[in-house]
């Protein structure tokens, strides 16, 4: 089955880069070009900002996002005014971002656009839910794991991961970092009928007692040591609505309850711990679970880094095939 056939089995797709310049926008443009000839109604939005001509951090050139006629896109008011295409507005959301309200529009004449969509998981989900009203066959969300965003790429039906030479200046380090990410993507799911409800929670730490979430009234995982009594007051199954850090994990590892402790996070993007600390926590009997595992469909690679470091495409593809059990593509090199 081809990459296009595979993604068309989904209603929603996230393209997520491990870091800047790993080729996710190139992947997006490739998919849009391939989908154009199939006459599918495609919608696109972004977690964060994508499509700028110049990277605001590295000052290097970036690929722009090109949309063809009939494509629906969601972006902020600010970037909608900067579009280089002809379009009609379908909806002006009451939901506002730091760059203004969200604009949903349809492309009337092909051109370029900067996408800056919702920054929260709830906001992305609301955008995805509305796309059915416009007869959309597939909605693509452009995002990156490196962004300090509350939005998760795993809310989509399928995920394409972009990686490449920009991660590190040597192949062994690239393989090591992607292998560590792969391990997180394989974390087992926590079995509960309340998963959808828990995914909606934006703040706080909760105990799951007989599957029911009970707020522990702990403002932040950073304050766990000051709320030790409250932390285990309703059992050892703890749901963190935010991120899991090394500080939190190391604190739990030192507690007598660790041997029966089950830590639950929304998905792998909420885990910000070193492999060594996770290994130590698990060795003490602790468990780490996610509410939702990603449906990884494919991996795309960019063998060229902004620094000029370049790997042979076939070597990078082969290395990634040794890490992931899904197809790996260089959409530029073939």
On whether the CB atoms of residues 9 and 43 are closer than 8 A, the answer is no
Average pLDDT of the chain?
90
Q: Give the CB-side neighbour count of residue 186, counting CA atoms within 13 A.
A: 9
CA distances 137 to 42, 118, 207, 242, 261, Å, are: 6, 20, 39, 31, 42
On whether the CB atoms of residues 170 and 24 are closer than 8 A, the answer is no
Q: What is the pLDDT of residues 131-148, one digit of tens each?
A: 999 999 999 998 877 655
pLDDT for residue 310: 94
Mean pLDDT of 226-254: 89
Q: What is the pLDDT of residues 132-188, one digit of tens each?
A: 999 999 999 988 776 555 667 778 999 999 999 999 999 999 999 999 999 999 999
pTM: 0.89
Domains of the chain, start order: 3-185+294-329 (3.40.50), 195-290 (no CATH)
């Amino acid at each position: 089955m081809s990459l296009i056939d595979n993604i068309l089995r989904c209603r929603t797709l996230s393209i997520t880069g491990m870091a800047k310049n790993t080729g996710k926008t190139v992947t997006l443009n490739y998919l849009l070009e391939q989908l154009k000839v199939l006459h599918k109604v495609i919608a696109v939005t972004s977690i964060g900002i994508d499509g700028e001509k110049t990277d605001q951090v590295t000052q290097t050139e970036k690929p722009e996002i090109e949309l063809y006629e009939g494509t629906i896109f969601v972006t902020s008011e600010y970037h909608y005014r900067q579009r280089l295409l002809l379009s009609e507005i379908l909806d002006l959301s009451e939901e506002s971002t730091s760059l203004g309200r969200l604009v949903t529009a349809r492309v009337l004449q092909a051109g370029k656009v900067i996408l800056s969509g919702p920054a929260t998981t709830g906001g992305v989900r609301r955008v995805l839910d509305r796309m059915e009203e416009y007869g959309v066959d597939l909605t693509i969300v452009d995002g990156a794991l490196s962004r300090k965003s509350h939005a998760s790429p795993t809310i989509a039906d399928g995920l394409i991961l972009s990686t490449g030479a920009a991660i590190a200046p040597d192949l062994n380090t690239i393989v090591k970092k992607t292998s560590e990410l792969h391990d997180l993507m394989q974390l087992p799911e926590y079995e509960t009928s309340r998963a959808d409800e828990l995914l909606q929670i934006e703040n706080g730490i909760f105990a799951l007692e007989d599957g029911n979430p009970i707020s522990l009234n702990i403002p932040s995982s950073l304050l766990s040591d000051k709320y030790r009594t409250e932390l285990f007051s309703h059992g050892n199954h703890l749901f963190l609505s935010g991120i899991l850090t090394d500080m939190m994990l190391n604190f739990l590892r030192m507690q007598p309850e660790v041997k029966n402790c089950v830590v639950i996070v929304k998905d792998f993007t909420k885990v910000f711990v070193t492999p060594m600390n996770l290994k130590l926590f698990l060795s003490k009997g602790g468990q780490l679970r996610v509410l939702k595992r990603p449906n990884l469909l494919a991996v795309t690679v960019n063998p060229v880094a902004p620094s000029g470091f370049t790997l042979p495409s076939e070597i990078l593809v082969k290395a990634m095939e040794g890490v992931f059990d899904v197809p790996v593509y260089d959409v530029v090199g073939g």
